[in-house]
């Protein structure tokens, strides 16, 4: 488990991370999502002990990263955005070097490294110099070093940056597999990656957590206030009848299906649940409703709306909105 409480980091007058708190439970794969410069890397560097916090605390499985750094760091495996590999070593030499740094006993080293090599699929390059490997394999070697010592928590900063499409797909599959045995925090600004891999998303902007929810929850953030209605008959008359209600902000034709049916997009005002109002209004006007379903946002749309402050609290979701700051952020 990772517990971050009231974490702040300042670089002179600039507030890179601004009083954030969150918890990552055992076995979760959590996406740390935000635009470039939002504070993701700074937060991860503090979580790993690479940077000290200006204020706040970080606990890894109960160990404070500053008060008990050795015990806390034994719980962690870290893959920075640039893998910390040494080009003049072979993969085998490098991983044994990491074992020495992490104090892995020689009696258990061979079996552990064999397991890691098979997990990250680097057996065919195990005897090769790191500097002669492709970007994808260097990334895998970087992930292998994070797994040395069998840490319970993995922190991965932009693990697919610079990879080609095939390598990205393979890395995502590998991260999902690792999530079966480890707690994983994955930093990224690639929305499709977060959606494909993560159980939960934390969005950070200007150094603050602005939303946290499942990817599905964020995509459904519009709730019941935005509906797509398919009607049979006069779609324009249906729009006119719906537009008169105070709880309905707009009703407009989304498409004329050419078979006597229309798709109408109806938006509620102030997060109002407008389903019953739509049904009773159109039933009264004898306009048959063929379907009524909520309009969901894809993760990209939800991300942009959250970052721009367009989505507000909704009691049906666990999304937590926090007002941003005007301070210039820095990673």
| Same domain, yes or no: 214 and 230 | no
CA atoms of 246 and 248, how far apart (whole Å): 5
pLDDT at 76: 93
| Same domain, yes or no: 248 and 209 | no
pLDDT at 325: 36
pLDDT at 313: 41
Tens of each residue's pLDDT in the chain, 331 residues: 899 999 999 999 999 999 999 999 988 999 888 877 888 889 999 999 989 999 999 999 999 999 999 999 999 999 988 888 999 999 999 999 999 999 899 888 999 999 999 999 999 999 999 999 998 899 999 999 999 999 999 999 888 877 888 888 888 888 888 888 899 999 877 777 777 888 888 888 889 988 787 766 665 554 557 889 999 999 999 999 999 999 999 999 999 999 999 999 998 887 778 999 999 999 999 999 999 988 765 556 666 666 666 554 433 333 333 333 333 344 4
- Alpha carbon distances (Å) from 59 to 26, 27, 117, 178: 13, 16, 29, 21
Tokens of 150: 């069998």
Tokens of 91: 């993969």
| Same domain, yes or no: 175 and 288 | no
Q: Is residue 139 part of a domain?
A: no
Give me the domain span that covers residue 289: 226-294
Q: What is the pTM of this model?
A: 0.69
pLDDT at 220: 57
Q: Is residue 314 part of a domain?
A: no
CATH number, domain with residue 52: 3.40.50.300
Q: Is residue 96 part of a domain?
A: no
| Same domain, yes or no: 289 and 157 | no
Nearest of 325, 320, 221 to residue 22 by alpha carbon: 320
In the beta sheet, which residues pair with residue 291?
230
In degrees to the nearest 10, what's the CA dihedral of 60, 155, 91, 114? Answer: 60
Q: Is residue 329 part of a domain?
A: no
Q: Is residue 41 part of a domain?
A: yes
Q: Which of 219, 234, 264 is the last residue of a domain?
A: 219
Q: Is residue 254 part of a domain?
A: yes
pLDDT at 211: 79
- Total domain count for the chain? 2
| Same domain, yes or no: 179 and 67 | yes
Q: Which of 187, 219, 251 is the last residue of a domain?
A: 219
């Amino acid at each position: 488990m990772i517990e971050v409480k009231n974490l702040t980091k300042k670089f002179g007058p600039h507030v890179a991370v601004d009083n954030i708190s969150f918890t990552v439970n055992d076995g979760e794969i959590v996406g740390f999502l935000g635009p470039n410069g939002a504070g993701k890397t700074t937060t991860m560097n503090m979580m790993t002990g690479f940077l000290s916090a200006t204020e706040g605390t970080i606990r890894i499985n109960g160990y404070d990263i500053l008060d008990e750094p050795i015990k806390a760091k034994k719980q962690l495996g870290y893959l920075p955005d640039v893998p910390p590999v040494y080009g003049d070593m072979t993969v085998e030499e490098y991983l044994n070097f990491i074992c020495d740094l992490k104090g892995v006993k020689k009696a258990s080293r061979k079996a552990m490294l064999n397991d890691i090599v098979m997990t990250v699929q680097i057996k065919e390059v195990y005897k090769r110099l790191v500097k002669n490997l492709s970007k994808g394999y260097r990334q895998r070697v970087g992930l292998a070093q994070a797994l040395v010592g069998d840490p319970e928590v993995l922190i991965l900063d932009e693990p697919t940056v610079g990879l080609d499409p095939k390598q990205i797909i393979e890395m995502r599959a590998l991260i999902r597999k690792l999530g079966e045995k480890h707690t994983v925090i994955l930093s990224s600004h690639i929305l499709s990656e977060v959606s494909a891999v993560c159980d939960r998303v934390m969005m950070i902007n200007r150094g603050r957590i602005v939303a946290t929810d499942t990817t599905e929850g964020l995509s459904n953030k519009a709730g019941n206030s935005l509906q797509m209605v398919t009607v049979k008959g006069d779609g324009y008359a249906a729009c006119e009848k719906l537009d008169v209600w105070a709880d309905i902000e707009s009703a407009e034709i989304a498409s004329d299906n050419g078979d006597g049916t229309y798709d109408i997009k109806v938006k509620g005002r102030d997060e109002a649940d407008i389903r019953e109002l739509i049904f009773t209004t159109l039933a009264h006007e004898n306009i048959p409703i063929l379907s009524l379903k909520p309009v969901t946002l894809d993760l990209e749309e939800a991300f942009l709306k959250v970052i721009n402050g367009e989505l507000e609290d909704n009691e049906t979701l666990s999304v937590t909105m926090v007002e941003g700051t005007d301070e210039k952020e820095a990673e």
